[in-house]
Amino acid sequence: MTAHVKMDAPDRRNRLDAMAQGVIGEPLDRSEGALKVSGKAVYAHEWPVEGLCHAVLVRAAISRGTVTRIDKAPVEAMDGVLAVIDDDRLLRNPAQGTANKAPVQGPRKIFYIGQPLAVVVAESFEQARHAAQQLVVETEAADAVLDPEAETLEHERPKGKQTSQGDLDQAMGAAAFSIDEVYRTPGHSSAPMEPHAAIASWDGDRLTVRASCQMLKYNRNELADALGIKPENVRILAPYVGGGFGSKLGIAHDAVAASIAARAVGRPVALALSRRQVFETTMRRSESRQRVRLAADAEGRLTGIGHAALVSQLPGEKFSEPVTQATHFLYAAKNREIVHEIVRLNLTCAGSVRAPGEAIGMTVLETAMDELAIKAGIDPVELRKRNIPETDPEGDKPFSSHMLASALDRGAKLFDWQRRNPVPRSTRDGEWLIGLGMSSAARVNMLAEAEAIVTLSAGGVRIESDMTDIGTGTYTVLAQVAAEMLGQPMQSVTTVLGDTDLPPGPGSGGSWGASSTGSAVFAACEDIRKCLAEKLGCVEEELTLKDGHAVTANRRVPLAELLADGPISVRGVIEPGKTSKEVRQSTFGAFFAEVAVNEVTAEVRVRRMLGVFAAGRILNAKTARSQCLGGMTFGIGMALTEELIHDPRTGAIVNRDFAEYHLPVNADVPQLEVDFLEERDPWASPIQAKGIGELGISGAAASINNAIFNACGVRVRDYPATLDKILAGL
């Protein structure tokens, strides 16, 4: 049986609220947590495969040019070497995800330092690495384009990403208060804990790849396209993924090269990227230059918003960082000018890093809003509340729900915002200057097509989908939905994920995984409940399922008795529909931060931080909180430490490991507080849930930067706010 639901109308039934098991929304531990902390969860590069050999990539040492010759013979003669492969099917760069085709291929043309050109296969990893280091690749260099702000570069303006309403110049000229500033954000690396890795093996024409991937439904098609084979001959297994943050959305070099190598040598091949290779060959977040113009009347109500963003990308790639994504709807203003420009550079492919768009766009917009609040003499919280639109300011569509004002009020109360002194340098603790800052949070909400099979048997419930769990809690959340709907204890629910032989899910990306696949599970469970109700002679709404029993009227029947004829299995399918177009859907929140700035050294310490979030129904309070803690930690890194640094002469990434790419560590992260607002959004999904993972980063860095200004009076417009930038102002 198939239960197919298309979201063409809001689902106001709140069916999960009517269930009796009492597990939905609870802060339950991850069902696979014990496996992970004990080391028993098997990741991509850990599968015990008989006859395994190893491969290592050989990569470009120049930023732009052509491969003229690869001297294979000396390396092929080395001990343990099985093959040296320079196949035109090797990826130039990773796929972006949500695609059916591989990205631009072919190793002969070089577009950035680190681009894979060949792969060496040997009996052991050490032999393969040594041989790869000895392989001579002769190249002919060409002039590389490396500076995103070079005046000679052509700026592309893609259609659909530009907005012009009213007369912004006139609004700026007539404004009582205005801001016109340029801000910059650096490139970022996803830096997942688990490096990209794959083990490929062939059985005739059928390929099996154990890989670290986020979106298997798409990755299968991308890999098949890269290899020139049929998707039905490809199986990808990714039951555990050690983080992705966007870098594993699409198929990457490891899976394609391992597959080509395994075919060539007739044996399973393992290929894992080193940490430096992860930095140099996978996705980066583009750097940005953003000009923000804000015009406000005497009461602080915006009359004009201008947001112009310049980002970079490789030649030929369609994706570009959607910097202004939230600017379109966050604040009301009749006069609007939003510009999106792209320059083509010979740097690593730019792609989706956690919360693409809002992560850096809201960081800048919320910094500018703080500057406007100070200039107008209006409390930053109040300024934002005065400018919340009643409907989408660019399309006049209603919002599916809008919780920004509630989040701002709740955060201000919990954080004791009223004690903030608006005058910089007014509060100190010895040689430390203390400041408070805040920002709004927002992230577009999306529902994606998803499928899952749910089977109810006398032994419990089984859920099957190719959906992935990249550390976000998918295994547990899906089990909670099924347990709640079917009246089962959590230990009776088995969730099987990360296998393309299973029904296709949307994958982990865009913060849509839990709401989308959870809705597919919900739809299947509803049909199972209808089957049980029919057996009992009642309607589904009159049926209560709890602790393995069915209750209706005065009858209480064990589910095992109703399943005497065999299990009930339903394929649930959810599909986005009119609700994604008829209303503006977004999650909202607010960040509040307290920082200390050392008056002598300009060192910054975040002393406390609060995030208040509204994201529809919270399916698991613990895993949702964990996602927000991670997002806020991302925000601390963006604000203070993280930046990809390229050598301006060659484009090489200088800080290409965890020693030099400064992620926040324990000493940088204080006790973080997360607070969820009660919300049900019937437009978002049948389970009234929205995305949560990326909301926690969208604007977080601005609250810290704004607190720095309140502490010491130095405004940093070139992120991150490192001490050298602050010291100059002190």
* pTM, entire model: 0.97
CB 446 within 8 A of CB 698: no
Tell me, rounded to whole angstroms, the distance of Cα 448 from its chain centroid.
15
Express each pLDDT in 155-201 by its tens digit: 999 999 999 999 999 999 999 999 999 999 999 999 999 999 999 99
Express each pLDDT in 674-705 by its tens digit: 999 999 999 999 999 999 999 999 999 999 99
Closest to 588 in 3D by CA, of 454, 701, 439, 464: 439
Report whether pLDDT(489) > 90. yes
Closest to 674 in 3D by CA, of 621, 620, 612, 596: 612
Q: Copy the structure tokens of residue 57.
A: 């990539």
Distance from C-alpha of 488 to C-alpha of 492, rounded to nearest angstrom: 6
Closest to 485 in 3D by CA, of 513, 465, 511, 463: 463
pLDDT of 495: 98
pLDDT of 107: 80
Burial of 553 (0-12, 13-18, 19+ CB in 10 A): exposed
Burial of 375 (0-12, 13-18, 19+ CB in 10 A): middle
Domains of the chain by range and CATH?
Answer: 2-41+447-581 (3.30.365.10), 44-144+190-284 (3.30.365.10), 395-442+585-729 (3.30.365.10)
pLDDT of 209: 98
Distance from C-alpha of 169 to C-alpha of 202, rounded to nearest angstrom: 62
Mean predicted confidence (pLDDT) in 266-287 = 97
Q: How confident is the model at residue 105 (pLDDT cuts 50, 70, 90)?
A: confident
- Provide the pairing of β-strand 163-165 with 284-285: unpaired
pLDDT of 488: 98
Report whether pLDDT(554) > 90. no
Q: Would you put residue 616 in left (φ > 0), alpha (ψ -120 to 50) or beta?
A: left
Q: How confident is the model at residue 246 (pLDDT cuts 50, 70, 90)?
A: very high
Mean predicted confidence (pLDDT) in 509-528 = 97
Q: Which amino acid is at 269?
A: V
Q: Copy the structure tokens of residue 274.
A: 């080193």
Express each pLDDT in 296-323 by its tens digit: 999 999 999 999 999 999 999 999 999 9
Q: How confident is the model at residue 671 (pLDDT cuts 50, 70, 90)?
A: very high
Report whether pLDDT(126) > 90. yes
pLDDT of 598: 98
The owner of tokens 């992230």 is 443
- Provide the pairing of β-strand 177-185 with 288-296: antiparallel
CB 596 within 8 A of CB 442: no
342 sits in which H/E element: strand 335-344
Q: How confident is the model at residue 106 (pLDDT cuts 50, 70, 90)?
A: confident
Residues labelled as active-site residues: 694
Distance from C-alpha of 581 to C-alpha of 577, rounded to nearest angstrom: 8
SS (H, E, C) 532-547: HHHHHCCCHHHCEEEC
Q: How confident is the model at residue 653 (pLDDT cuts 50, 70, 90)?
A: very high
202 sits in which H/E element: strand 197-203
Express each pLDDT in 594-626 by its tens digit: 999 999 999 999 999 999 999 999 999 999 999
Distance from C-alpha of 422 to C-alpha of 707, rounded to nearest angstrom: 10
Distance from C-alpha of 662 to C-alpha of 359, rounded to nearest angstrom: 18
Mean pLDDT of the chain: 97
Q: Copy the structure tokens of residue 319.
A: 């994706």
pLDDT of 109: 96
| Interior/surface letters 274-312, b for 16+ CB within 10 angstroms, e for the rest | beebbbbbbbbbbbbbbbbbbbbeeebbbbbbbbbbbbb
Distance from C-alpha of 419 to C-alpha of 115, rounded to nearest angstrom: 53
558 sits in which H/E element: strand 555-558
pLDDT of 188: 98
Mean predicted confidence (pLDDT) in 260-285 = 97
Instruction: Return the SS3 of 319.
Output: coil
CA distances from 304 to 329, 335, 443 (A): 13, 5, 22
DSSP 155: -
pLDDT of 430: 97
Helices within 325-386 (DSSP H only): 358-376, 380-386
Burial of 158 (0-12, 13-18, 19+ CB in 10 A): exposed
307 sits in which H/E element: strand 302-313
Peptide bond preceding 393 in cis form (omega within 30 of 0):
no
236 sits in which H/E element: strand 234-237
CB 306 within 8 A of CB 424: no
Express each pLDDT in 62-82 by its tens digit: 999 999 999 999 999 999 999
Helices within 464-539 (DSSP H only): 474-486, 513-536
Q: Copy the structure tokens of residue 578.
A: 């009119």
CB 417 within 8 A of CB 381: yes
